[in-house]
Amino acid sequence: MAFILKEVTRECCSRILSHQFLVRAVVLFLVSNVALADSYSVVARKGTPATGTALSGSNFYHLSNTSTVNIELPIITGQGTIVFEALLSGNGLTVLNDNAVFAQTPNGELQLLAQEGTSFLNNQAQVSLNGFSTFDVGKTDEISFISPLSGSGVTGSNINSTWVASGGQVRLAVRDGVSGFGQISQRTLQSSQELLSFRSTVPGYSGYVGYWLPNYSPTAPYSPTASELGKTGSPAPGCPEAFFGTDLRLHTSGSGTYLLASSLFGAGATNGTSSGLWEVNSSESVELMLRAGMETAPGSGSFFSTFVGPRRSPVINANGTYAFTATLAGSDTRTSLFRVREHALARVISTGESAPEAGTNVVFASIDPTWTGQNISISDDPNDGIALYATLAGPGIDATNDRSLWIFGGDGNRTLVMQGGQQIGGTPYQIINSSIGTLLSFNASEELAFRASLSGVETPSQIPVPSAEAILKFSRAQLAIAVRQYQQFEESKWIVRVDWLPEIQLNDLGQIVFTGTVGTQISDLSGTPALFRIGRNNLPSVVAVAGMPVEAVSGEHFSLSSNGWSTSASLSDTGDITFLALATFGEQVVFRVSIEDQELFDGPISDFNHDGIVTQQDLFDFLEAFFAQSQAADVDHSGIVSIQDLFNFLNDWFEHL
């Protein structure tokens, strides 16, 4: 009986598609669906007091850039602390001390981190903070910023100082041009007691670079020393009569694990032994791990040739696992990908190996292709998954489908994420081969987000090229369109253009933030600048758009009037977003948005309302979403809501009813 009802229902559903408006009206009458709403709170607002800090008698005066003021945009740490810069007004404030850096903790506490004009003794000279720049944040709650100095002995070569804030304590980490350092660059925050590693030029030696860790002293808080990790021209540990080269690079996971990679020079660096990898252990000693000329495995007759060069940068994760590609010599001359876990070396894949997932007799032709600047990434997941771009070759492979993206798990499993020309799910859209190779965002759940171009998308007649930009997301073994250009995501709302922040922001919860434009129809090519977010289940929504009314949790009301979020949006791993916006009457506001998102659900798709049981209400809820063309009805994660989603839902519904 259930089988007959199932077939009748399928036939009825096919016939009523031409009368969707009637069914939709009936369903909307029978059921309702309450959408989850993000909550907005005000971090700082022009004209309001800096309450709760040592400057509580002053007001925020400027929070955004002007023609005469350069202010750092707000940014959020992995754990949700927001740091921002502000100009202040009030009694006792002048142009010498009206600039400050603040932080708001996840519980809403506002903290003063640093104020312009604050003086301190550094290297027996009295100097003062003279502005702020270059905010950086860590995966937990570390914050770093640069402050130019003024005062005794300050010159162009020693003007910049780098500061780190953690646990409510602000410390000077390093200053340019003192203690044997040149110009400081590549500051990397750590989730450990070292807090910061940094790169510096070496005074007096053109092309020389080095890496250090600061050493903080409670008795001399403003005159830190530093421990050298490696420097051009210094002896390379484990390599007699060999020295680090000018291409020395430090790679770090952001959690206190460090890896040095460098070419070598000197009498001990003969042909075939002129590069290597070194690990910095917890005692800050540097240990040689691998060197060109070493065997890839005992007795193999195959040797490492080089670890350095374009697209050869090793990657390291929070678990201390690292991966790298290397060319080989001897009995095996292939380029290979290796993973090192707890000092155990394992080859993952080599050129020439078969790739049956991409077709019969297809092989990996290149695993360090020239069409990408980032050939490998590694996840912080305990599985230590590696994402790899590769070029394929073999029967049926040509310039339309030879690019590919893979994940190699630490358990030995591998997955073909995408390939040029691939059709996505049940959609008519195909991935354009030449668009593969963009920067990847790889989170701690082994989810990937990246951008690509799609063919087969309906485009406005004014656009001569029938393709669309998209953000694709790979999650739980499925590739789906998270969002695409010309997508309708709400009634009378279309995503007209998908722009990009410096990189796609994918957090460890699987949420994404991106910028673009929204229009009232697909042909509205100009659109209105907007900030979007995508939830765990690939449901896009607008976070901010010009003209959008916003009610904060405090009861304050705003109407957004500018797209300052296009450059200031920042996403945390806790699901909070911060951005700067101009509102009505010229107000400048730093917002915190807490995403109200659906939990990922591992039950059957027919339990549409996720209450643990499959009932008629699930059918009603699904039909409402289906006829409204809501992305919630995209149960096959294909990126579009189609008749196939209806059939998939009904099949599962009858199975679990």
Nearest to 335 by CA among 317, 349, 321, 323: 349
Query: What are the φ and ψ backbone dihedral angles of 333, each rounded to 5 degrees?
Result: -110, 15
| 3-state secondary structure (DSSP) of residue 266 | coil
The arithmetic mean of pLDDT across residues 639-654, rounded, is 83
Q: Looking at the predicted structure, is the pLDDT value of residue 229 above 80?
A: yes
The answer for residues whose C-beta is within 8 angstroms of residue 171's C-beta and 6 or more apart is: 163, 164, 165, 195, 216, 221, 224
DSSP string, 347-407: EEEETT-B-GGG-TT-EEEESS-TT-S--EEE-SSTT--EEEEEEEESTT--TTT-EEEEE
272/292 Cα distance (integer angstroms) = 6
* Cβ pair 394, 402 in contact under 8 A: no
Q: pTM for this one?
A: 0.84
263/232 Cα distance (integer angstroms) = 10
- Whether the CA torsion 386, 392, 397, 398 is positive or negative: it is positive
The answer for residues whose C-beta is within 8 angstroms of residue 530's C-beta and 6 or more apart is: 515, 516, 517, 518, 542, 543, 544, 545, 546, 563
DSSP designation for 49: B
Q: Looking at the predicted structure, is the pLDDT value of residue 145 above 80?
A: yes
DSSP string, 472-504: EEEETTEEEEEEETTEEEETTEEEEEE---SS-
Q: Looking at the predicted structure, is the pLDDT value of residue 408 above 90?
A: yes
pLDDT at residue 24 in the model: 37
Q: Looking at the predicted structure, is the pLDDT value of residue 276 above 70?
A: yes
pLDDT at residue 308 in the model: 64
The answer for residues whose C-beta is within 8 angstroms of residue 284's C-beta and 6 or more apart is: 213, 227, 229
The arithmetic mean of pLDDT across residues 371-377, rounded, is 88
In the chain, the amino acid numbered 308 is V
637/641 Cα distance (integer angstroms) = 9
Average confidence score pLDDT of the chain: 85
| Residue pointed to by tokens 């010599």 | 329
248/229 Cα distance (integer angstroms) = 11
Q: Looking at the predicted structure, is the pLDDT value of residue 6 above 50?
A: no
pLDDT at residue 277 in the model: 93
Of 239-253, 471-485, 551-565, least confident by mean pLDDT is 551-565
Tell me the pairing of strands 302-306 and 286-291.
Answer: unpaired
86/450 Cα distance (integer angstroms) = 34
Q: Looking at the predicted structure, is the pLDDT value of residue 267 above 80?
A: yes
Of 13-17, 185-189, 649-653, least confident by mean pLDDT is 13-17
Distances (CA, A) of 391 to 293, 435, 619: 27, 13, 45
Q: What is the pLDDT of residues 585-633, one digit of tens each?
A: 778 999 999 998 765 556 788 888 777 788 888 898 889 888 877 767 8
pLDDT category of residue 67 using cuts at 50, 70 and 90: low
Q: Looking at the predicted structure, is the pLDDT value of residue 321 above 50?
A: yes
Of 479-493, 510-524, 598-612, least confident by mean pLDDT is 598-612
Q: Looking at the predicted structure, is the pLDDT value of residue 501 above 80?
A: no
Q: Looking at the predicted structure, is the pLDDT value of residue 419 above 50?
A: yes
- Whether the CA torsion 5, 10, 11, 16 is positive or negative: it is positive
Q: What is the pLDDT of residues 157-203, one digit of tens each?
A: 899 999 999 877 899 999 998 877 888 887 888 766 566 788 888 88
* Burial (CB count <10 Å: 0-12, 13-18, 19+), residue 348: buried
What percent of the chain has pLDDT above 90?
A: 44
Q: Looking at the predicted structure, is the pLDDT value of residue 393 above 90?
A: yes
Q: What is the pLDDT of residues 23-36, one digit of tens each?
A: 333 333 333 333 45
Q: Looking at the predicted structure, is the pLDDT value of residue 484 above 60?
A: yes
Using N-to-C axis directions, what is the helix angle for 2-16 and 20-30, rounded to 10°? 120
Nearest-Å Rg of the Cα atoms of the chain is: 28
Of 28-37, 341-350, 413-422, 492-501, least confident by mean pLDDT is 28-37
Nearest to 336 by CA among 322, 352, 320, 321: 352
pLDDT at residue 490 in the model: 75
